[in-house]
Amino acid sequence: MFACLLDLIARELRLFALRSLFIGYAGAMKISGCNQISLAQWSLHREIGQGRLDPFDFPRMARSTFGLDAVEYVNSFYRPVERDEDYFRRLRARCDDLDVRSLLIMCDGEGALGDPDPAGRRRTISNHRKWLVAARILGCHSIRVNA
């Protein structure tokens, strides 16, 4: 029980620190006319991995908790729905409702595009296609791949 309470306090302190940092930084950037910043989903991988944050709620958290209007996704959080185009349409609608832009999907575990074996490269390219489809639906400008 005590350990759970300490975990909760530590989580809340991390979120408070992140929230303060991002909101202050984003506000300063808007005032100075600099480029905007986005939130990488990996920043919240512990919350997602421990079931405290549904990946579908990531854009809402980026907007409401951190005041940010652009996000970058991690493909591994969407493995169960990786070919479900309706899911990505619903996620796009959620982002549109929140006025949050989807910038890219970081793709891991799909192979290396620099594989010296031509068959391995073809397999890697094929593995990434589903993420290109998801990125197109979400309105992302790109996916990030591993060489």
Partner residues linked to 40 by β-bridges: 72
Instruction: Give the model's pLDDT for residue 117.
Output: 95
Instruction: Give the model's pLDDT for residue 29.
Output: 47
**pLDDT digits 0-9 by tens, 41-79:** 999 999 999 999 999 999 999 999 999 999 999 999 999
Q: 146: left (phi > 0), else alpha (psi -120 to 50), else beta? A: beta
User: Which residues form the domain of 106?
Assistant: 2-144
What does the alpha-carbon distance between residue 99 and residue 62 come to, in Å, rounded to a whole number? Answer: 11
Average pLDDT across the chain, whole number: 86
* Averaged pLDDT, 111-130: 95
Task: Say if residue 123's pLDDT is above 60.
Answer: yes
Burial of 126 (C-beta count, 10 Å sphere; 0-12/13-18/19+): exposed
> Which is more confidently placed, 54 or 25?
54
* Averaged pLDDT, 107-111: 97
CATH of the domain at 117: 3.20.20.150
Instruction: Give the model's pLDDT for residue 5.
Output: 45
How many domains are contained in the chain?
Answer: 1
Q: What is the pTM of this model?
A: 0.77
Instruction: Give the model's pLDDT for residue 43.
Output: 96
